[in-house]
Structure 1
Amino acid sequence: MKTVRWSNLAFETYWTFSEEIAVFSQRTAITLEDKLNALLDRLAVHEHACPPLETLSRYRKCVLSKNISLIYEVTTDSIELVSFIDNRMEHGFI
């Protein structure tokens, strides 16, 4: 079982999404957090549960909702959360 570690960018982007969602619906924000916690538990055991990015194969992408995905990297001893991205926008993880 690997340790899950948050980068500063992952923390900042998750916090931003969570705060924006909570403005419209506390329930949706809680649901997103529950999905994330379940995903992180799964990744700690099954590190390759989500597919690699086509362009940057060292990173993997998990879809949390139709609008939000998690980008992470597997290292020898941990799962490094890199960033949360908006699926509707262009970004460096295409």
Structure 2
Amino acid sequence: MKKYDVFLSPLAERKLIILLDYLTKEWGVNSKNKYLSKFKNAINQISTHPKSCPESLEMKGLYKCVLTKQSSFYYRIRNDEIEIITFFDNRQDQSKIFKEIKGNLSFS
């Protein structure tokens, strides 16, 4: 079975750092570690089954992976790699997320 390399975009990296810092400050190291465990499981899943998450109707080629009730990330498949584009709060306005994605990436 083919395994894709997974990496974070600069935007996703910034947002993940902010999110992990928030989790640590508000809920403790244990909550941060649980989140990271879910994230690692998701990476393992999409690296072997890249289309296992639903594709966005708004942006073709963008897939949404739900990590928790509160948070998800978008990713895209490019050749033999998967790029995690951004992390976001599921309660956030989706149009703002897509605007942010378009402003930070060349998306084709």
Letter in 2 for 1:93: F
TM-score w.r.t. structure 1 length?
Answer: 0.93
More divergent stretch after superposition (51-60 vs 84-93): 84-93
Q: Does 1:45 align with 2:48?
A: yes
**Uncovered stretches (5+) of structure 1, i.e. residues with no partner:** none
Q: In 2, are the aligned partners of 1:53 and 1:93 still within 8 Å (CA)?
A: no
**Uncovered stretches (5+) of structure 2, i.e. residues with no partner:** 100-108
Give the structure 2 partner of residue 36 of structure 1: 39
The structure with the largest helix share of the pair is: 2
| Residues 37-73 of structure 1, C-alpha deviations (whole Å, 9 max, x = no match) | 0110111110111101111121000111111101000
Aligned pair count reads 94
Letter in 1 for 2:58: T
Alpha-carbon separation, structure 1, partners of 2:41 and 2:24: 19
Question: Out of 95, 98, 101, which is 1:93 matched to?
Answer: 98
Shift of 1:92: 2.6
Q: In 1, are the aligned partners of 2:88 and 2:97 still within 8 Å (CA)?
A: no
Q: Which has the higher contact order (CA 8 A, sep 6+)?
A: 1
Q: Does 1:4 align with 2:6?
A: yes
TM-score w.r.t. structure 2 length?
Answer: 0.81
Letter in 1 for 2:26: F
- Calculate percent identity across the aligned residue pairs: 24
More divergent stretch after superposition (77-86 vs 18-27): 18-27
Which consecutive segments of 4 or more residues in structure 1 shift more than 2 A? 91-94
Alpha-carbon separation, structure 1, partners of 2:4 and 2:25: 34
Question: Out of 11, 14, 18, which is 1:16 matched to?
Answer: 18
